[in-house]
Amino acid sequence: MTAPREPRIVIIGAGVSGIASAITLRRNGLNDFVILEKGSDVGGVWHWNRYPGLTCDVPSQLYQFGFAPKPDWSHIFAPGPEIQGYLADVVDRFELRSHLRLNAEVVAAEFTGSGWRVETGDGAVYEADFVIAATGVLHHPATPDIPGLGEFTGDVLHTARWDDAVPTAGRRIAVIGTGSTGVQVVSALQPKADRITHFVRSPQWVIWAPMWMPQPALVGAVLDRLPQVNQTLYQVGMAGAKLFTDVVTRPSWRRRAVQEFARLSLRAQVRDPDMREQLTPDYQPLCKRQVLSGSYYRALRARNAELVTMGIDAVTATGIRTVDGRHHEIDMIVFATGFQAHNYMRPMNLVGREGISIDDAWAKGPRAYWMTAIPGFPNLFTVLGPNSPTGSIPLHHAAEVTAKYITAWIQRWRAGEFDTVEVTESATERFEAEVGEALGPTVWSTGCNSWYFTEGGNIDLLPFNRRTMESALATPDDRDFRLR
Ligand code: N01
């Protein structure tokens, strides 16, 4: 009997999905892998984002890997640095460091006919049988091209590329953008700023939540001592998350109740009718990625804060001019303007079978069969790729389930069942049609604009519940793939 061949695997990215992939491979006896990470440390979005006030608005006990529970989170909603520390700790605990290449940006990956040739910016080349692209969704910062920006003499920062060396206390700060980030950064900067001006193009619904609430030390101690209880708590959390999936994907009284709470959060915290009107969105709560905060409205009501809903005309040398001709004197502009969320692996030069580039394959927008397999790109899988459940199912879990699915394919390669595996066009089209139909009743389709939408107008989310996702990814279905 011949020994099984050992697959060589390149994982691109050391964020949540790259770490989940590496550990899943390792737990299944696949050890010949390298993780190429563009950043100087692991953590992905939690490495790149370090703006003041960064907090995860998903409860920490759910925002962790099922295989690596952390009992002792400091808060119910953990601060960003603690999450980054957790991810770094998981990398150490599972001994991934020797597989990791930091500051290694993949610039090109080409299918060779039987595998992949992957190249990093420093000229290193990796030959692989499989590539796992775990490159993240919210990675490329979007900075609007506002007239005059180049003339501004103060500091300009994007929240996703924060620079701690730039002072914020005692300064006149403009924050542009009202997503989860803008709301957090305004709340954090307001107390010490000389003046904070929040430029809000479209207000968001902001659901009140006690983001500052600590997790009692006793809870951490008990969960640490009793892993069974910890596991049960995780399962309870997952069951709770199911309710959230239901709320966003199906109209019901539960959805209406959450939406009413969003409206109440505004009414109860903003008494001034003018301000309340300015802060009232013209779309349903939950339509965009829901913002949670217990401090934003209070920060806006402070004496040193101003809400500006007038459009921005231009940036000048010393401030921002709005379309009504008013000039706002500013020392520092903070862009909380989000990400180019549908770039995925790009701008990497990714070339699949018969020379097809990912830009051509995705000319009409990113697409992948069950978030992971792309026609024309054999032996390549994405984790948290197109249509991932970023707005509905705990992300670590989605990454784990996808990583197990990919590992199942690689195990079959190892056993010699095939040399290349590629999803069919028809299976991908069928998946897209199912997604399109299921998106109909979701709250995301109720008429708003957000980063969930691709340029082509598709909603880049998974409109199914966790069980459906798990069962679709439980076992590879050969009928949807071409094996050679
Ligand atoms: O980005 P966004 P974000 N002039 O795209 C505005 C995750 N996250 O970084 O709506 C003026 O939501 C834009 O206005 P409009 C979470 O998934 C998680 O805040 O287009 N404004 C909008 O207000 C989140 O959804 C955590 O009119 C301009 C804002 O910029 C995702 O990251 C924490 C503009 C962009 O909002 C992205 O959130 C933080 C312009 N020219 C973030 N261009 C957790 O806690 C854009 N805007 C887990």
Could you tell me the domains of the chain? 9-140+340-483 (3.50.50.60), 149-204+288-335 (3.50.50.60)
The reported pLDDT for the residue numbered 3 is 74
Counting ligand 1 atoms within 8 A of each CB, the residue from 289, 313, 454 with the most, and so the one to mutate, is 289
**C-alpha span between 192 and 170 (Å, rounded):** 6
Counting ligand 1 atoms within 8 A of each CB, the residue from 181, 287, 309, 390 with the most, and so the one to mutate, is 181
- The model's pLDDT over 83-137, given as tens digits with 9 standing for 90+, comes to 999 999 999 999 999 999 999 999 999 999 999 999 999 999 999 999 999 999 8
Range of lowest pLDDT (50-54, 174-178, 238-242, 477-481): 238-242
Q: State in Å: Cα 39 to ligand 1 middle.
A: 22
Q: State in Å: Cα 334 to ligand 1 middle.
A: 12
Q: What is the token pair recorded at 72? A: 């002792």
pTM of the model: 0.96
- Give the closest residue (by CA) to ligand 1 atom 9: 338
- Give the closest residue (by CA) to ligand 1 atom 40: 144
**C-alpha span between 79 and 93 (Å, rounded):** 21
- Give the closest residue (by CA) to ligand 1 atom 1: 338
**Quick check: 326 and 197 in contact, CB under 8 A?**
no
The reported pLDDT for the residue numbered 292 is 97
**C-alpha span between 198 and 467 (Å, rounded):** 41
Counting ligand 1 atoms within 8 A of each CB, the residue from 201, 204, 312, 396 with the most, and so the one to mutate, is 201
The reported pLDDT for the residue numbered 2 is 64
- Within 13 Å of residue 115, how many CA atoms lie on the same side as its CB? 13
- Give the closest residue (by CA) to ligand 1 atom 24: 180
Identify the residues whose C-beta falls under 6 Å from ligand 1.
55-58, 138, 144, 176-182, 199, 201-202, 289, 312, 336-338, 449, 451
The reported pLDDT for the residue numbered 181 is 98
What are the φ and ψ backbone dihedral angles of 466, each rounded to 5 degrees?
-60, -45
- The model's pLDDT over 9-22, given as tens digits with 9 standing for 90+, comes to 999 999 999 999 99
The reported pLDDT for the residue numbered 217 is 94
Confidence label for 70 from pLDDT (cuts 50, 70 and 90): very high
Map tokens 């290694």 to a residue. 104
**Average pLDDT along the chain:** 96
Write the Ramachandran bin of 355: left for phi over 0, alpha for psi from -120 to 50, otherwise beta: left
Q: State in Å: Cα 350 to ligand 1 middle.
A: 28
Residue range 267-282: average pLDDT?
97
**C-alpha span between 88 and 19 (Å, rounded):** 10
- Give the closest residue (by CA) to ligand 1 atom 18: 180
Q: What is the token pair recorded at 240? A: 């709770």
The identity of residue 307, as a single letter, is L
Coarse DSSP helix, strand, coil percentages of the chain, rounded to the nearest 5 percent: 35, 20, 45
Q: State in Å: Cα 444 to ligand 1 middle.
A: 16
Q: State in Å: Cα 339 to ligand 1 middle.
A: 7
Q: Is the peptide bond before 347 cis (omega within 30 degrees of 0)?
A: yes
Range of lowest pLDDT (167-181, 231-245, 437-451): 231-245
The reported pLDDT for the residue numbered 1 is 54
Q: Is residue 391 pLDDT above 90, yes or no?
A: no
Of all residues in the chain, what percent carry a pLDDT higher than 90? 96
- Give the closest residue (by CA) to ligand 1 atom 37: 338
**C-alpha span between 28 and 130 (Å, rounded):** 15
Q: State in Å: Cα 205 to ligand 1 middle.
A: 13
The reported pLDDT for the residue numbered 376 is 98
What are the φ and ψ backbone dihedral angles of 60, each rounded to 5 degrees?
-55, -35
